Amino acid sequence: MSSRTDLSSDISPDNQAERGIARRAAEADETEISVKKPTREEVLQTVFGLGVQDVRTYDAVVEITGATASELSDHLDRDRSNVNRSLKRLRETGLVTRGRRLLDEGGHVYQYYVDDEMSEDPVTHAVNKWKSAALDAVGPE
């Protein structure tokens, strides 16, 4: 025979469960979850669904405000059709806008800008929206 007294038998199953939940909650509060800090590029790629070249194009528009696709193409050393595809994706996300400039010799060109007059930073807005959607996706159903 065992001289050991089983104290858990004196506690109802409901109380045992509550104590277990409380213990795990206390342990969770003490445990810090390690999360890798994302780079700026990773955030833009994840939140906006951009590729590496799209992020490079965005950075070029920030650097050379009012540039044309041809100027951006030269700056990035990329084919203009590829730059145009990136610019289209950036416009669709709201990160970049374009304006049309009439040429003296006739015709027009589009110039690309990061919209400084937006009421809220588009990246911050999108990150908050993505965060909410991500939490909904992993939250209880």
Ordered structural domains, the chain, with CATH: 42-136 (1.10.10.10)
Phi, psi of 56 (to 5 degrees): -60, -40
Task: Give the mean pLDDT of the chain.
Answer: 82
Query: What sign does the CA torsion over 60, 64, 67, 72 have?
Result: negative
* CA 5 centroid distance within chain: 56
Q: Is the pLDDT of residue 21 over 90?
A: no
Asked whether the beta carbons of 47 and 130 are under 8 A apart, the reply is: yes
For residue range 60-96, list pLDDT tens digits in order. 999 999 999 999 999 999 999 999 999 999 999 889 9
